[in-house]
Amino acid sequence: MAKIIDGKAVSAAVKEQVKKETERLKSMGITPGLAVVIVGDDPASRTYVNNKKKACELVGFYSEEYALEGTTTQEELIALVKRLNRDDKINGILVQLPLPPQIDDKAVIAAIDPQKDVDAFHSENVGRIMIGEYKFLPCTPAGVMELLASENIDIEGKSCVVIGRSNIVGKPMAMLLLHKNGTVTITHSRTKNLKEVCLGADIIVAAVGIAKFLKADMVKQGAVVIDVGMDRDENGKLCGDVDFEQVEKKASYITPVPGGVGPMTIAMLMKNTLTAAKLANGIE
């Protein structure tokens, strides 16, 4: 049976460290500030935003929330982003995705000051991740790396398979594993012989967005399995991209859903915002 990696415990430790660092900054007259912008009334987005607000309170950040109507125009949203770029109280800007169809999310992300882009979605920050000279990392892949580190799972020389190629998780995840000297294969919906590819993996990160997609017959004995998925099964119950009950019997380590990668995403957002506040004030 696999050892379950407890994302709640690891995220609590990360937030506790951020809280201590924030107290140090406050003693110097600096309070990290995060602005979260939500457009429309998507229930999942609202839950995420509420959780981010609670996390800011917990670690001692200053935070602002901008809840805009679903009819907001792209011009209005970009004008708000530009105003937040100029606001010295705000170190991090997060525009909650997805955005309504009338707004081009790429244009909005491009408008965010790269120094305040705590999601690390701006093309400048994406480029920095490619060459390994980054200030911020996308929160979910960064959270996965933190979970692996928490169990001292060595990546160097290991065969790593990422299932999914999104800009938010799949691609940056592959780069972070590569920076740790993993041998990385990115797979997706068009990959031929996916089962065979996965069976060769020492570490699998499932980020495909299909409930219970990764079955036990796709996982070799003793593999490390990280589940980034947030899906609903046939009974409407929350589950991940991994068939947890079956895969747990073969894996050496596995993350649950909920309580695995999910809590890490917000913890890493707090860490990125702290980093942004330090950079803005020339503090190491």
In degrees rounded to 5, what are phi and psi of residue 28? -100, 5
To the query of whether residue 221 is one of the catalytic residues in this protein, the response is no
Looking at 52, 135, 158, 212, which residue is catalytic?
A: 52
DSSP state at residue 158? -
Looking at 15, 96, 115, 171, which residue is catalytic?
A: 96
DSSP string, 214-266: B-GGGS-TT-EEEE---EE-TTS-EE-SB-HHHHTTT-SEE--SSSSHHHHHH
How many Cα atoms sit within 13 Å of 268 on the Cβ side?
22
To the query of whether residue 102 is one of the catalytic residues in this protein, the response is no
Q: At what angle do helices 170-179 and 123-131 cross, to 10 degrees?
A: 30
Q: Rounded to whole angstroms, how far apart are CA atoms 212 and 2?
A: 17
Handedness of CA 181, 207, 267, 249 (dihedral sign): negative
Asked if residue 247 lies in contact with residue 216, where contact means CB atoms within 8 angstroms, the answer is: yes
Q: Is 38 left (phi over 0), alpha (psi -120 to 50) or beta?
A: beta
Handedness of CA 128, 49, 58, 262 (dihedral sign): negative
Asked if residue 239 lies in contact with residue 233, where contact means CB atoms within 8 angstroms, the answer is: yes
Looking at 116, 117, 119, 227, which residue is catalytic?
A: 119
Catalytic (active-site) positions: 52, 96, 119
